[in-house]
Amino acid sequence: MGISEQALAKILRQPGYSAVVETAPTSKTVAPGSTLEQKFLSYWQALNGPALEREVRFNPTRKFRFDFAHVATATAIEIEGFGHAKRNRYTADLEKYNSAALLGWTLIRLTSPMINAVELQRIINHIKERTG
C-alpha cells in the first residue's frame, strides 16, 4: 500500500516538511500539468534550467500558488492559457500578481508563443544572475 502523489504533496506542504531537490527540473512530485506546462518543462530541461518548485504557495494569508518558482531568487513563472482571459479568472489573477509583487517576487508570465528557447534562456539567465 503506497501513498498517492496528492497525499505526498499535501504532506510536503506542511511546515517542517520539504521535498528533496535532485537534478530534476522540479523538486516536488506533482501531476504533469497542462499541455503548456509540459511544453515549458521540455524546453526548461533541454536548456538545463535550475530546479524549480511547482504549485508554490507564496502568501501565507491566501491560497495563491505559482505554476513554477525558483524560491531562492523569488522568481515565479506563470503559464497563461486561454482560461486566464475570462473576466472572473482575470481579476483573480491580477490579485495574485499584485500580492506577489508586494511581497518582492519577480513574476514572469508566459503565453504559448513565448515558451521557446530564447525566452526561457532569458529567464534562466535572470535566475543565474541572482544566484551568483
Within-domain flag for 81: yes
Within-domain flag for 107: yes
pLDDT number for residue 96: 95
Percentage of residues in the chain with pLDDT exceeding 90?
62
- The tally of CA atoms less than 13 A away on the side-chain side of residue 90 is 4
Q: Give residue 22's pLDDT band: very low, low, confident or very high (50, 70, 90).
A: very low
Helix (H) or strand (E) holding 70: strand 65-70
Within-domain flag for 74: yes
Residue-wise pLDDT for 57-99, tens only, equals 999 899 999 999 999 999 999 999 865 556 678 889 999 999 9
Within-domain flag for 15: no
What domain range is 108 assigned to?
Answer: 21-131
Q: Give residue 28's pLDDT band: very low, low, confident or very high (50, 70, 90).
A: very low
pTM surpassing 0.85?
Answer: no
Within-domain flag for 13: no
Judged against a pLDDT cut of 70, whether residue 47 lies above it is answered with yes
- The tally of CA atoms less than 13 A away on the side-chain side of residue 7 is 4
The CATH number that applies at residue 77 is 3.40.960.10
Q: What is the residue-averaged pLDDT of the chain?
A: 82
CB atoms within 10 A of CB 105: 20
Domains: count for the chain: 1
Within-domain flag for 55: yes
The answer to whether 8 and 29 are in contact (CB under 8 A) is yes
CA distance 67 to 59: 14
User: Averaged over 21-48, what is the pLDDT?
Assistant: 72
